[in-house]
Structures are given as structure tokens and as C-alpha cells.
Structure 1
Amino acid sequence: MRALTSGLGLPLALLLLTSEALAHHALGGATPISFGEGLLSGLAHPVIEVDHLAFVLAVGVLTAVSQGGLGLPVWFVVGTVTGCLLSAGGLAVQPAEWMVPASALLIGGYLASGRADTGSWHRWIFLAAGALHGLAYAQSIIGGENNSLQGYLLGFAVIQTIVAWSAMLAAYWFWRGDRLYANARVFGGVLAGVGLTALYQAAVAGLVPVL
């Protein structure tokens, strides 16, 4: 139990700390108009949205569980960039606010189930999930200049890669042997809870009219 709680300390602390920043965008909600502002917005976005951050952490943990390499989380990052580009090109999938928490609930539930496999199909799941995340979060950049979009995509890709790789390496380092699978199940339960809570909040927001 002691090893379990110590191993889960980092991801749980990140989720708790970022939950307070959920409603605050790096630019105060303004649309980026320069490359630098776009880069800042892209770097901050996965960190200020707790359900998206939880999912990116889960990408790293699932990569560790399936014994994947550094290339596996990149498929998710490529998916997010692709989703952003599709959104910038005019593609809209509704309701966007359900996509990220629903994917967090599904991946969290999968991790919590404790199923072990080689992960040969994970790249396609990561690619599809990434596209949905990109479609959901690209709205903050739509309407900006082309150079701000480039900055946003660069920042968005870099920070997600760093977070996913860090989660994967931390899982390998702190959760060695059988603890990796046991702790991953607990983390999956936490992620599923985050996704379920975010879905509930989205449902309440959709039912209650804005005053």
C-alpha cells in the first residue's frame, strides 16, 4: 500500500493542482494573434484542462503497461495536431465538450480493468483519440493569424509529448515489476473518475441555461 501511494503521488498531485486552473486560459480567453502567443497557448492548454492532462498522462501510463516505446505516445500527439488542422479547416464535431471526458472515461476504464496486451492496436486508438482532442481544443485558436496557429500547434505538440514521455518513464521507474500493473489500475480508476465528473459537469451545463 505504501508503494502504491508513493507511486501514484505525482499523477494525483498534478490532477489536484490543475483542477483549480480549469477555467483559466493562458491568455485570459483571448485569441492568440502572434506566433509567441500561439506557442504560449499551445504549451499551456494541456496543463490547464484537467481531463486532457489526465488523458495525456494515461497515454504514458498505458504505453508503459503495454511495454511500448517512445514512439507510441507520438501517435496521440499526431492525432491532436491533425484534429486541430481539421478544425481550422472548418470541420466541427458536436458536442465537442463531451469528446475529451468520454475518451478519459473509456481509457481510464480500460486501465482499471487490468487487461494486459502487447498494445499493437494502441497506436490507432491514440491517433483517433488525439484527433477528437484536437477537434475539441482547437476552438481557442480559430480566428487567429496563420503564424499564431503554427505556434499553437508547435506548443501543443511539444508539451503533450513531454508529459506523455514523462508519465511513461515515471511509471517504469517508480512502478517496477508487478507494481506497474497494480498502480496503473488505480490510476485508471482515477482517470475514469475524472472523465465521469467532467461528463456530469458538461451534462449539467447543457441542461441549465446560461443566465
Structure 2
Amino acid sequence: MRITLSHRHTAALLFIAASAISSSAIAHTGAESHIHNSFLSGLAHPLFGLDHLAAMVAVGLWSALSARHAGRELLWGPMGFAAMLLAGAVLGLQGLALPAVEPMIAVSLLATGLLVVSRLRVPGLMAALGVGVFAVFHGVAHGVELAGSHSAWQTLAGMLTATVLLHGAGLAAGWALRHRTVWLSRAAGAAVALMGGALLAQMA
């Protein structure tokens, strides 16, 4: 029997595979550190730092899956995450060191994964603030790494561009899966949540 998949299903399966691979990686450890010194390196980091990739795509997925209809409602979560990521990065550049950055990044994966699974609807501003809290920790982690770099702002511009693109990919995949193959979106969310749980367990 031949099984065929649409492009939308293939993209969603690729996301699940990336999330599953990510479960073996610890965020921002020495083994995963990148030298950030250009727009292109900033653009690449979220794509190869799979903890960030999963979190950003998951925010887009959740926003599309939980929205009642197309419009501004879709953008609250992604806009909140991107804005607070930038704010956190600026704080990190100024030398702010928040406690428990790595555990909070792991918790962000757990939380956003569960949001995708549940398709929980949250009012716009609350959605932005909810994911934005986690984004601050992602941003601070980057800002601290970039402190003292002469090209910090170029690198942050690349990271922010990648963040927006990944949110867009999540929105597109989530919108395609809103009314079909419910198990696929839930599997993607579960993979992200499990990755967050695995990271927390490794830090314990």
C-alpha cells in the first residue's frame, strides 16, 4: 500500500523530527556554544540551536492552532516572543544575569509544547506576555554571550530575523493543521514538551 503525504504534512513531520533530535541537546552548553560575530551567524544560531528552533516554531504552531480566525489574534504570541527576546538580549548586553536561565529555557519548551497539545486559547495580551516571559530568558542567554562583541547588534538583528521566520513557519504549519490530522500537531507539541522535560531532567 502506498502512502502519500502533502507538502504540509511533510513539513510538519520534519518539525517533529527536528524536535525529537533536539531532545538530546542541552541549551547553551559548551558543546553547543556558537561564536556570534555577524548577521549571518545570528541568523543561523536559532536554526542550529534546536532548543530555540523548537520553542519559536511551537509558539507559531500554538498561535495558529488556538486562534478562532485569521487576523491579529494570530500574531500576539509571535510578536510578544520576538519583542521580549530582543528586550532580554538588550538586558544581557548590559550585563544583567538572571538566575536559572537554562532551566527556564527548558521550561519554555515544556510549556509551549503543552500549549500546542492542548490548543489552549488565551486572550491576546496575555498570550504575548505569557510566551514573552520565557522569551526574556532566551534573550538574556544570547545577550550575555554577545556582551563585549563589536558586532553584537548585527548578530541580534540576524537572530531576530530568524525568530520571525521560525514563527512564520510555525504559523503556516499550524494553520494547515487546524482542521485535519489532529494527532500530528499534538505529536509535534508532545515532542517539544518531552524535549523540555528531558533538558530539565539532565539539569537536575
Distance in 2 between residues matched to 1:196 and 1:16, nearest whole Å? 12
Matched residue count = 190
1:9 equivalenced with 2:9 (yes/no): no
1:95 equivalenced with 2:100 (yes/no): yes
TM-score by length of 2: 0.79
Task: Give the match's secondary structure for 1:126.
Answer: helix
Identity of aligned residues (%): 27
Q: 1:177 aligns with which of 176, 179, 184?
A: 179
- 1:149-164 to 2 correspondence within 5 Å? 149-164=152-167
Q: 1:165 aligns with which of 168, 174, 185?
A: 168
Q: Verify the 8 A CA contact 1:80 1:131 in the aligned structure 2.
A: yes
Q: Verify the 8 A CA contact 2:104 2:137 in the aligned structure 1.
A: yes
TM-score by length of 1: 0.77
1:17–1:190 distance in 2 versus 1, CA, 3 Å: closer
Cα deviation 1:40-65 (Å, max 9, x = unaligned):
23112212222221111101101111
Distance in 2 between residues matched to 1:170 and 1:185, nearest whole Å? 12
1:98–1:158 distance in 2 versus 1, CA, 3 Å: same
Task: Give the match's secondary structure for 2:74.
Answer: coil
Q: Verify the 8 A CA contact 1:102 1:199 in the aligned structure 2.
A: yes
Whichever residue aligns with residue 59 of structure 1, its letter is V
1:6–1:152 distance in 2 versus 1, CA, 3 Å: closer
Taking only aligned residues, the RMSD between alpha carbons, in angstroms, comes to: 2.8
Q: CA deviation at 1:98?
A: 1.2
Which residue is 1:208 aligned to? none
Q: Which runs of 5 or more residues in structure 1 are unaligned?
A: 204-211
Choose 76-85 or 45-54, whichever is displaced more. 45-54
Q: Verify the 8 A CA contact 2:114 2:190 in the aligned structure 1.
A: yes
Q: 1:76 aligns with which of 75, 81, 89?
A: 81
- 1:124-163 to 2 correspondence within 5 Å? 124-145=129-150, 148-163=151-166
Q: Verify the 8 A CA contact 1:98 1:202 in the aligned structure 2.
A: yes
Cα deviation 1:89-124 (Å, max 9, x = unaligned):
121112222121111112212332x25425422111
Distance in 2 between residues matched to 1:42 and 1:19, nearest whole Å? 22
Distance in 1 between residues matched to 2:49 and 2:201, nearest whole Å? 16
1:103–1:24 distance in 2 versus 1, CA, 3 Å: closer
